[in-house]
Amino acid sequence: MKLWKTTLLLGCTAIAFGQGEYGGPSVLSRGQGPSNGLPAETTFRPYAAIQGIYDSGLLGVTTDSSGNVTFKDAYGVQAEAGLYGQHSWEHTTIGLDYRGSYRRYSQRSYFDGSDHVLTLSINRQISKRIGLSLRESGGTFQRSFWFYNPGQLLNPGAQIPVEDVLDNRMYFGNTAADMTYQKSARLSFHGGGEGFIVRRTSDALFGVLGVTARGDVAYRYGRHGTVGLDYYFTRFDFFRAFGDSTINSLGLNWAKRVSRTWELAVRIGVARVESLFLQRVLVDPEVRAITGQAFGVNVGHHANILPDFNARLSKNFRRSLLEFRYGRNIVPGNGIFLTSRRERIGVTYSYEGIRRWTIALDASYNTMGALVQELGDLNTYMAGLGVTRKLGKNFHMVLRADARRYELGASQYNRNAVRTTIGVAYSPGDRPLALW
């Protein structure tokens, strides 16, 4: 859940600077956080931490001499440092979140190493009617526990690899640009695009290169309501696997401030997915008699019409935020699965005490099924808790515990995995440290 705060921070910034005078509830097609979210850190805040770590269920891209996968448990130490927050000028806001860590287990292993993730946003109000938003994210990590980010569910354009089954080093990047034209106080038009890439170091796992173009129109029909229509075009191409997918999605948006503290946002859409892939086919008996081969490989084409749906319900408790989320979308797989349908449901609670405490809890259930492979469904159950407490001047206790359950039919990849970290952080500032 490390970048959940970043998603909220950058989303709320986009509301203020990407839509001119528009001040209604956030529509999901623009990848924004809820407009009733918690206030973001208004300065750039550095921190450094040293932590003890325990990991169970570690699983690399290896097998034993019998061809079976082996799980490992390990404990060690981790050093972490980062910088997050935002700064605003008259017409420009910059949001930044960098998190980097280096871990070393008691017994040196393949899983030692460092993780880095950077998110940068620049929002510029070019004129009274035109706003520009530039966003850049990228990084590398070996275990997606470090980068668990349920808030990205709410951004249909973001392709962030957070559901890999195997603990393998990966590199990813995402570049996006969007522009909003405020036709009037009620009517706005929005358009943009992005490119993304994921590379996994193991030759046994797929990578992906993709682009997305999007556009929408939103109309604020009252003080507390917004409706809109959007269109997305997305294309995936895969590394180390033949195949690609083209997705055209059309959706209706509705956002409503139900009360002073509750906000509801829904996107209901439909997507047409066309995929090229290699498929195994039976060889004609005559050819089989000559070549001795019973099977061959053919290029297949598959087209699907699938729902493309997102929903978010959020409540602000002044110092805390509660979010319920649901999504059913098309994603570029997870290194084993190619283009897949994914369904996710989750809840997040975030508390920021004025003086000493920050607390974050999250839980979710995810299911993923490949559209052109017969692999069964991958079901993932996730839960996590993060806590920081101010100990004294500039020093904080930090604690994080996460658990996951992976289920892939009767596969040997089924497993439970746990990560726990506890330590001390140094960070100058009056507010409690908000890492989660």
Q: Which two tokens stand for residue 334?
A: 């997870």
- pTM: predicted TM-score of the whole model, two decimal places: 0.84
The pLDDT tens digits for 33-43 are 777 777 776 78
Give me the chain's average pLDDT, please. Answer: 85
- Sequence-separated (6 or more) residues with CB below 8 Å from residue 378: 163, 165, 334, 337, 367, 368, 369, 406, 407, 408
Q: Which of 27-31, 39-43, 207-211, 327-331 has the lowest mean pLDDT?
A: 39-43
DSSP-assigned letters across all residues of 318-338: SSEEEEEEEEEEEE--SSSS-
CB 207 within 8 A of CB 238: yes
Q: Which of 132-141, 226-235, 347-356 has the highest mean pLDDT?
A: 226-235
| Amino acid 157: pLDDT | 42
| Per-residue pLDDT band at 23 (split at 50, 70, 90) | low
Q: Domains of the chain by range and CATH?
A: 4-426 (2.40.170)
